[in-house]
Structures are given as structure tokens and as C-alpha cells.
Amino acid sequence: MDDLPEEVQKLIEELDEAAEDEDDDAVKELAQKFLATGADVEAITLEKLSLLVMDGEEEMARGWTEVAIQIGLDPFKTLIEGLAAGMSLIGKKYEKGEAFVPQLLIASTAMYGGMDLLAPYMKQDENSGSKAATVIIGTVEGDVHDIGKSLVKTLLSANGFNCVDLGNDVPASRFIEAAKEKKATAVSMSTLMTTTMAEMPKVVKLLEDEGIRDKLLVMVGGAPITTEYAAQIGADVSPHDAAGAASWLKGAVFDFPSEGVRWG
């Protein structure tokens, strides 16, 4: 950002200070001045957010998320191209051995801080008159990671789905119990580790044994999961990312029988 006009660079520095000090009033005031500069405030804000999340700067990530809100950035774009992009950056560093689990956790805290601010702006129209489809979502047994799962949940919720979050380290039987109890439309499972991939086919097998596999759409995801693996274990899809999961499910439910037809 060194090539930006001096006025813009000064405002960015002032916004950094206000965000770090958690001075919300100053952030809002400076955001309006930032917008009035005529600079590409969208690109600057998204880049700032991604770098702040990668570096685990929670207060500053929240502050710059407020900037995004104040300058009118689309909340979905802010989430995907700003906050989530930062998690992708630290995730790549982790895969290369350039970052470690504590840094992932700190980065996720920064991302969640921004997500909390965005959540009210991503609510769907509640007056549509149609009942939200229910998705059972969780990280499989043996795996305590929940960053990716929580991002998928956030985007699904923002797209109008009713998400029942089972958390992490979820036994296969719990997915089935929840799906039956809630008369769910979909089950979404995630894992970050190759050692727990085998839990996913257990869930699919239990769904088949209970005679309810055809009542549900099954999504699987996580770093080690491929499209080929999803097909091999009998899942419907393994989306590339959280945005892809939301997009795929929105399309899939149009051609899927209603809850009443499936569950009686």
C-alpha cells in the first residue's frame, strides 16, 4: 500500500490506531473520511482484513470489519474475500510448515470477531413464508477442528438454512439422531485430518442402515477430502469451499422433495 496517496496512507494509519484501541466512534468517523478520498476503499479494506486475520489481530480485524460496514461493502464479500481469505492465507502457511496450530487458533479468533459484526447484516428475509431447510453440521469423531465447519455454518445460515451445529468430535450415531429428530434436509461433515476421514463413511452407512439415506443430502469437506472420496463413500458432494457449499446446497434443495414428502 506504499503507492497510495499520502492522505490515504495517513487515514489507514489512523484507522489502524482506532481499531487497535477499540474506539468504535473514531473508526466510524474515519471510515467516512476514508470513503471520501476516492481511493479504491473496497480493495484496500479487503486486503487489510485478510492480512489482519492471517496475523491474528483480533481487535484490528473487528475494527476494519466495522470499516467495511461503514463504507457499504457487501457483507458476503467482506466475509469471503476479507476474513475467510485471511484464514486461507494462514492455512496455506500451515500446510507448508510455516505456521503452527496456535497461529491457526489465533487467526480463527480474529476471523470470528469480524464474523460476529457481519452476522446481523447477512440475515435473510424472514417473511418469505417458507420453512428453512435444516442442515445437521459437525466435525467428525476424533477431530476437534471447527474453523472450516463454522465458516460453512455461517454461510449456510446467511443463505437461509437452519443449521444445527453439533460441534466437533461428533460420533457417527449423533449425526443420525439429530437428522431424524430435526427431520433434516442435509448432513454436513468435516474433518481436517486424514486419520479421521474413515468416520465419514460410517455416518453414510448408518444413514443407509436406518433407511433414511434417501431423505438427506450429504456434504463432506475438509483439507484431505476430494470429490473422488466423496463419491466413493456415497456422499453427494464435497464442495471446494464454504461459499461453494452454500451455493451447491441452495441449488440442490430446489430439486429435492419437501420435508413432508421425505419424512411424512
User: Are 259 and 141 members of one domain?
Assistant: yes
User: Are 88 and 153 members of one domain?
Assistant: no
- What was the pLDDT predicted at 186? 97
Domain that residue 70 falls in = 6-122
Domain boundary among 59, 90, 122: 122
User: Are 50 and 151 members of one domain?
Assistant: no
Cell numbers for 238: 464435497
User: Are 175 and 233 members of one domain?
Assistant: yes
- Residue 131's pLDDT band (boundaries 50, 70, 90)? low
pLDDT tens for 154-193 read: 778 777 789 999 999 999 999 999 999 999 999 999 998 9
Q: What is the CATH number of the domain that holds 46?
A: 1.10.1240.10
Query: Each residue of 31-51: b (16+ CB within 10 Å) or e?
Result: beebbeeebebbebbbbbbbb
Residue 33 has pLDDT above 60, yes or no: yes
User: Are 26 and 114 members of one domain?
Assistant: yes
User: Are 138 and 173 members of one domain?
Assistant: yes
Q: Could you tell me if 202 and 189 are in contact, meaning their C-beta atoms sit under 8 angstroms apart?
A: no
The candidate with the shortest Cα–Cα distance to 113, out of 50, 76, 166, 60, is: 60
pLDDT tens for 207-217 read: 999 999 999 99
SS3 140: strand
Cell numbers for 75: 457483507
Residue 70 has pLDDT above 70, yes or no: yes
- What was the pLDDT predicted at 125? 43
- What was the pLDDT predicted at 123? 61
Cell numbers for 56: 491474528
Tell me the whole-structure pTM to 2 decimals: 0.69
**Residue 127 included in any domain:** no
Percent of the chain predicted with pLDDT > 70: 96
Q: Which residues contact 3 (CB under 8 A, 6 or more apart)?
A: none
Mean pLDDT (the chain) is 90
**Residue 128 included in any domain:** no
Domain boundary among 93, 122, 151: 122
pLDDT tens for 3-22 read: 899 999 999 999 999 999 99
